[in-house]
Copies of this chain bind each other. A is one copy, B any other.
Amino acid sequence: MNKGQERSPRKAKGQGVERREEILAAALRLFTQLGVHAVSTRQIAQAVGISQPTLYAYFPTKADIGMELHSRAFALLAQGLASGADRRSDTPEGFVAMLRIYVDFGLQNPDMYRIAFMSEGAALRTWWRENDPTLSPSTASTYGVLRREMTEMHARGLTVDVDPETLTQSVWSGMHGLVSLMIAKPGFPWVEREALINAHLWVIVRGVLKAV
């Protein structure tokens, strides 16, 4: 029904691939709406408009659907960040703008973000085990974009006197904190959204850069 989030398939050969995408889209919607464990294959199949067994023509297992979504979330984020990495971040304003990409991505794709970084805690861990995609190339790329930036700024003497790797992790944590809390606690009496995001990012930047 909701075709909105569909991403262009890598290889749009037959009809099969489209189906696959439909399934993923439906699953993503349901997973994040109801929680991975609360969604049944029946629901997914029904949402797509196919029969339950047909699902198994596209994915060997329910877990595989989750895994694919997880991977994609990272890819998407990495891509988002990368596309903004060419912005000039040698000014505080530029840096804030760059961080803003991450935050916006999270808040605009809460489904994906949740799957990627708040993955129902251990719920999925059983599946992924040693194969945690957090540490995959995809993640590395996401995280790498940020680190590259920090390293460069550090080299230029713009940051406080702390090892860039540490700063990177701190900045990431800072951003993640806001995004995840806002996603997880929509009922909380947050102050006005724009103001909060802006303030928060400036807090981070002020904390990281030498003199602002």
Interface residues of A in 166-212 (CB under 8 A from B): 166-167, 169-178, 180-181, 183-185, 187-191, 195-196, 199-200, 202-208
The quantity of this chain's copies bound in the complex is 4
Is A70 among interface residues, defined by CB-CB distance under 8 A? no
The total of chain A residues at the interface (CB under 8 A) is 58
User: Is A163 an interface residue, CB under 8 A from the partner?
Assistant: yes
Residues of B within 8 Å of A126, CB to CB, are 34, 38
Contacts of A6 in B (CB 8 A): none
Specify which chain B residues have a CB less than 8 angstroms from the CB of A207 in the assembled complex.
202-208
A118 located at the interface, meaning its Cβ lies under 8 Å from any Cβ of chain B in the complex:
yes
For A160, what are the chain B residues with a Cβ–Cβ distance below 8 Å? 203, 206
Chain B neighbourhood of A122, CB < 8 A: 32-35, 38
- A residues near B (Cβ < 8 Å) are 32-38, 114, 117-126, 132, 134-135, 160, 162-163, 165-167, 169-178, 180-181, 183-185, 187-191, 195-196, 199-200, 202-208
Report 13 cross-chain contacts, Cβ distance below 8 Å, ordered by A residue.
Answer: A34-B126, A114-B121, A117-B181, A119-B184, A120-B120, A166-B195, A167-B203, A173-B181, A174-B178, A174-B204, A175-B177, A177-B177, A202-B207
